[in-house]
A = this chain, B = another copy of it.
Amino acid sequence: MSSPRDVVGQRSETVRRANLSAIVRELHVHGPLSRSELVVRTGLTRSAIRGLIGELVTANLVEERRSLPVGTPGRPSPVVRARADQSVALALEANVDSLAMALVGLGGTVHRLERVDRPRAHETVDEVVADLVDLARPILPSLDADALVGVGVAVAGVVRRSDGVVRHAPNLGWRDVPLADRLAAALNLDAPVMVANEADLGGLAEHRRGAAVGFDHVIYVMGEVGVGGNIIVDGRPLVGAAGYGGEVGHMPVNPAGAACRCGSSGCWETEIGERALLVRAERDPDGGRAAVTELIEAAHRGEEQALAALEHVATWLGTGLAVLLNVLNPQVVVLGGVFERIHPLVGSTIEEATARRALRPSAELVRIVPGALGADAPILGAAELAFEDLLTDPAARLRPRAPALASA
């Protein structure tokens, strides 16, 4: 089924822009492709592909190289690739216990990626903005203003997508922080700054380049101090009416549960978040990544307390996943952050708990797998966010054309 919004009248200029977008997106996501492969992937004719690639070469978005013959008869098809040097995204991440910066080229080439731990103290917004700018500063002088397509920012909070305001970040202690505007002013770059929730972006990266490639119905659940999620429906991220969707960490799952920093109680996060795990294992709840590493190593050695804490988290993780399976009927669940790390120890407990609570048809269909991108999934997703405008309408980077005549 589809809604009235699916289909609207289409004009030739709209079609041209959509076709340019289809080509750039294929090259960005899948890497270099021959013209023949582009014909197959886009459904466009060979002559149409040739013309459109010509436009994209002129705009420095792609380049063509003659491929080496590979034993097939006939002329080799030129290989088209995105120019990672001519279009770059700056990505930033404000996490509860680390900050990160990356420079990523069109096509997904990671030119640079740096992460610094920070004390689990609640820095002020001013301090976080200043620290992020400091982290990016070494590369700013070399950034070609024409090449920079945008700045993507991952943050551990609920974000209004339209203007990049962090509405509520319980684990940072922020409310209604205009982070996009603050960073735009501090960076002073001639490029848009877009902000999104870190788990949304981690899920985007796993969908595009990680464990969920090729799936159209995906749930990504990421555990850190907070628990976040990202949902892919019919191949598209579910962001909701204002960008607040996917806040799975604050699903009420236990009416008898503990108070949550969000103001409610019994949220999923209070049972499966990093602090809950550490407290249950009688570790320092503010021990951060190092404490989790120690805990996991202890569990591998067979320490009872550590194993019991992991089993508790795994059981509640499965219970919450059952909620999501029944509502969303995904093909795959990707576990990120701390859940990715504990999956080798308690994967079967997670699966059993999920199957016990979910309807059988949905439980039978799904695969529950660890993520493929590790802790860098959110910042790689932030770069993808920054590329999104370019991918949607690369024609905006071309020289202006006379308007085409409209036709049906």
Contacts and interface: CB of A to CB of B under 8 A. Distances in A.
Interface stretch (A39-47, A139-147, A372-380): A39-47
A322 interface: yes
A7 to B, nearest CB: 5
B19 A4 contact: no
A236 interface: yes
Contact of A22 (B8, B51, B242, B360): B8
Copies per assembly: 2
A25 B7 contact: yes
B330 A365 contact: no
B48 A252 contact: no
Contact of A246 (B16, B18, B327, B365): B327
Nearest to A243: B329
A257 to B, nearest CB: 9
A109 interface: no
Nearest to A257: B255
Nearest to A323: B251
A155 to B, nearest CB: 14
A386 to B, nearest CB: 11
Contacts of A234: 5, 236, 238
Interface in A1-49: 1-11, 15-16, 18-19, 21-22, 25-26, 29, 42-45, 47-48
A407 interface: yes
Interface residues of A, number: 92
Contacts of A19: 9-10, 408
A406 B4 CA distance: 26
Interface in A307-339: 319, 322-324, 326-331
Contact of A5 (B11, B236, B238, B329): B236
Given A231-B327, A252-B357, A256-B256, 12 more contacts: A1-B237, A2-B388, A3-B236, A4-B25, A7-B18, A7-B21, A11-B43, A48-B408, A242-B361, A243-B329, A244-B361, A252-B322
23 contacts: A1-B239, A1-B388, A3-B232, A4-B29, A6-B235, A9-B22, A10-B10, A10-B19, A11-B44, A16-B408, A44-B408, A45-B406, A48-B408, A158-B361, A217-B240, A217-B241, A233-B240, A241-B330, A245-B329, A247-B362, A248-B327, A251-B322, A251-B327
Interface of A: 1-11, 15-16, 18-19, 21-22, 25-26, 29, 42-45, 47-48, 51-52, 158, 160, 167-168, 204, 207-208, 216-217, 229, 231-248, 250-256, 262-264, 319, 322-324, 326-331, 356-362, 365-366, 384-385, 388, 392, 406-408
Closest 7 CB pairs of A and B: A240-B329, A48-B408, A9-B44, A9-B42, A5-B235, A245-B329, A244-B329
